């Protein structure tokens, strides 16, 4: 049995947001490796899925320390989870709250993360 098999997915999803907020990138990377020992992808829905490590590096460079996350609701059914998140982005005009729906799927040693964000109309 792998570490991912015994991991509580709901707690792992909550830990993801906590580690992000605490600026603990190494621990966040470790969590993703536990959930997806064969690798992971991140998809901003509407765009192609990207390699998870590269996507996290980009996300960290752009939003690390500037955006905190508040998982308002986390729902898990088996190896699938979803979170409704309030992303609080620090801007020159103050904090802007950007809601998102984020899904997590663990299957065949891989983690698939999908982010549903509002886009400009």
How many Å apart are CA 117 and CA 46, to the nearest integer? 9
pLDDT band at 118; cut points 50, 70, 90: confident
| Contact between 43 and 115 (Cβ < 8 Å) | yes
| Phi, psi (rounded to 5 degrees) for 14 | -65, -40
How many Å apart are CA 51 and CA 112, to the nearest integer? 10
How many Å apart are CA 29 and CA 27, to the nearest integer? 5
**pLDDT per position as a tens digit, 57-99:** 999 999 999 999 999 999 999 999 999 999 999 999 999 999 9
Q: Would you call 60 exposed, middle or buried from its count of C-beta atoms within 10 A (0-12, 13-18, 19+)?
A: middle
């Amino acid at each position: 049995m792998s570490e991912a098999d015994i991991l509580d997915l709901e707690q792992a999803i909550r830990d993801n947001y906590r580690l992000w907020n605490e600026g603990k990138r190494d621990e966040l990377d470790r969590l993703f490796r536990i959930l997806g020992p064969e690798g992971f992808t991140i998809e901003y829905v509407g765009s192609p899925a990207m390699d998870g490590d590269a996507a996290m590096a980009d996300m960290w460079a752009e939003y690390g320390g500037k955006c905190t996350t508040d998982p308002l609701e986390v729902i898990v059914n088996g190896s699938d989870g979803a979170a409704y998140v309030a992303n609080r982005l620090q801007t020159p005009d103050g904090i802007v709250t950007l809601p998102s729906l984020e899904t997590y799927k663990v299957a065949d040693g891989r983690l698939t993360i999908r982010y549903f964000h509002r886009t400009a109309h």
